[in-house]
A and B are shown apart, each in its own frame.
Chain A
Amino acid sequence: MSDHDYTPKSKAGKWFNDRLPLLTLGAHLTDYPTPKNLNYWWTFGGILTFCLLTQIITGIVLAMHYVAHADLAFASVEHIMRDVNYGWLIRYIHSNGASMFFLAVYIHIFRSLFYGSYKSPREVIWIIGLLIYLLMMAAAFMGYVLPWGQMSFWGATVITNLFSAIPLVGESITTWLWGAYSVDNPTLNRFFSLHYLIPFLILGLVVLHIWALHVPGNNNPVGIDIKKPSKDTVPFHPYITIKDTFALLMFMIVFAGFVFFSPNVLGHSDNYIPANPLVTPAHIVPEWYLLPFYAILRSVPDKLGGVILMFGAIFILFVLPWLDTSKVRSAVFRPIYRQFYWIFVLDVLMLGYMGAMPAEGIYLVLARVGTIYYFAHFIIVMPVVGLLEKTDPIPMSISEPVLTGGADPALARKDNEKI
């Protein structure tokens, strides 16, 4: 932000800004030069900020009425749904908001994968983003436990038992997580406490995420470095703010569709049965956004192996910037990688589907194939394709698509629009 020479017009503003340069920060955010060719996939950063704030606000409200006790939690949720003024609305926004949050974050992540936004010099943005994603999963998991229905209870049992796979100390760690000898009231209480904490950690990381973004500036669909500010950029306000607002409103229409017309379609009906430590539901499935990882976990016949692979599936993303050997960022100019990218998308969708099916027969076979491909994509495809691929010519700038090679400039632009 030192790049910004800003002097407030009013005397009071100058007095304040000399002591705390909030107005300089505001001016920086307003004028922040943004590539003018960002497409709608780039609006999900703003949408995610909206999701986080929605979850925090509705969550604080719910915490005013919710009781974190094994005997009362289920009843207190029903109390919210039935008696609290607008309680049903606030709870349905919160529960569906979690799904919308993940929908947006997956689009955001896959956008980054397509356009190579994780590559130098944006590795730190990517890694902070992954930390946010990890915390989101933790928050979502613990939040799902709070209503204390059957899926809450058994989901908590299954996930906490993952840690028992750790050799030697596994059992002790699990008991320590529980605060009892099974998932019980102490578990519920601490999950509530942590569930309230994590969103604020995420908020802190979001600030760092944006800060790290504002150092090199946005990547863009063409993936080239741009001079800023220049003919290739527009000021963040009003150009990007209005575009983000438009995309956010479209997103909110979908969100409202779920909240008002099928608020329970993304959940599981078993979670309206109060937790019962004596009976396990026939099929335990996590919420949809965790299904691909669940499929990876179940595809390994070994307890420890499954846990390692599942966590490995997330942690491999942290080294992605160094596994990708290509010098070209955007998949728009990478004809081979582009094919593999869509195969990878398909693979993750298939894994998600297998996660929802019983782990037997053809489902298990497909889950295993999907798991192997998932890792192969990062360990084999990314480095090898990057080295061997002949990329398409890249334009010199966004405004003037002068290509490095002799190909038709219109081609690059056309490609751009299609994405």
Chain B
Amino acid sequence: MSKEEKKVNRRDFLFTASYTIGAVGLGAVVWPLVHQMNPDKAQQALATTEVDVSQVEPGNSITVLWRGKPVFLKRRTQEEIAEARAVSMSDLPDPQKDEDRVKDGKDEWLVMLGVCTHLGCVPLKDKGDYNGWFCPCHGSHYDVSGRIRKGPAPTNMEVPKYEFVDNNTIKIG
């Protein structure tokens, strides 16, 4: 390699290194500007919600607000449970057993986010073709287990993390 070539190489290296390191820095600056729009620490720490369900009769349901979204808590009758469990998996667009959507031994309680999985509207209860919920926005039908049966929604209504503190209290989150 001649002297001239070496010189050129060193110059190229300098410029490449400057550009590369400069670009890395720019990237590092962009991240805080993007990340600031994600949920902040107060949002992330949002409290869990405890619900007293002692007043809910079988067949009825209540709605509570959790993380800014409605949560349906339905106390199902034995007939409704039987109906939900009799459905064949092949009839479901998003196959899931009813047993997997409730807590063992507490199968009369269905707890799920009351948000249609299509575009986020709140479905109406005791409506639709499957004795469950019906979303008025774009016509999605859910069954008594909150599973999608007909319409544009792709998946079943989501079951959030929850637990029974005692027989009458459900803690969501």
Asked if the two chains touch in their complex, CB atoms less than 8 Å apart, one says: yes
Residues in chain A within 8 A of chain B (CB atoms): 57, 61, 64-65, 79, 82-87, 89-90
Bin chain B's interface residue count.
Answer: 10 to 19
Bound-complex Cα distance A89 to B42 (A): 17
Are B32's CB and A85's CB within 8 A? yes
28 A-B pairs with C-beta separation under 8 A? A57-B33, A61-B33, A61-B36, A64-B37, A65-B36, A79-B40, A79-B42, A82-B41, A83-B40, A83-B41, A83-B42, A84-B36, A84-B40, A84-B41, A85-B32, A85-B35, A85-B36, A85-B38, A85-B40, A85-B41, A86-B35, A86-B36, A87-B36, A87-B40, A89-B32, A90-B32, A90-B33, A90-B36
Chain B residues within 8 Å of A83, by CB:
40-43
* Bitwise interface map of B from 20 to 55 toward A, beta carbon under 8 Å scored 1, else 0: 000000000000110111101111000000000000
Chain A residues within 8 Å of B38, by CB:
85
| CB within 8 Å of A: which B131-168 residues | none
Chain A residues within 8 Å of B36, by CB:
61, 64-65, 84-87, 90
B32 closest partner in A (C-beta)? A86
Chain B residues within 8 Å of A85, by CB:
32, 35-36, 38, 40-41
A89 closest partner in B (C-beta)? B32
Bound-complex Cα distance A38 to B135 (A): 70
Give the distance to chain B from A300, nearest Cβ to Cβ, in Å. Answer: 45
Closest 7 CB pairs between A and B? A86-B32, A83-B40, A83-B41, A83-B42, A85-B35, A84-B40, A85-B36
Bound-complex Cα distance A249 to B48 (A): 47
A252 closest partner in B (C-beta)? B25
Chain B residues within 8 Å of A64, by CB:
36-37
Chain A residues within 8 Å of B43, by CB:
83
Chain B residues within 8 Å of A90, by CB:
32-33, 36
Give the distance to chain B from A182, nearest Cβ to Cβ, in Å. Answer: 32
Chain B residues within 8 Å of A84, by CB:
36, 40-41
7 new A-B pairs (CB below 8 Å) besides A64-B36, A87-B40?
Answer: A79-B42, A82-B41, A83-B42, A83-B43, A84-B41, A85-B41, A86-B36
Chain A residues within 8 Å of B42, by CB:
79, 83
Bound-complex Cα distance A84 to B37 (A): 8
Chain B residues within 8 Å of A87, by CB:
36, 40
Bound-complex Cα distance A61 to B32 (A): 10
B29 closest partner in A (C-beta)? A57
Give the distance to chain B from A125, nearest Cβ to Cβ, in Å. Answer: 30
Bound-complex Cα distance A86 to B43 (A): 15
Bound-complex Cα distance A85 to B39 (A): 8
Bound-complex Cα distance A85 to B38 (A): 7
* Bitwise interface map of B from 83 to 126 toward A, beta carbon under 8 Å scored 1, else 0: 00000000000000000000000000000000000000000000
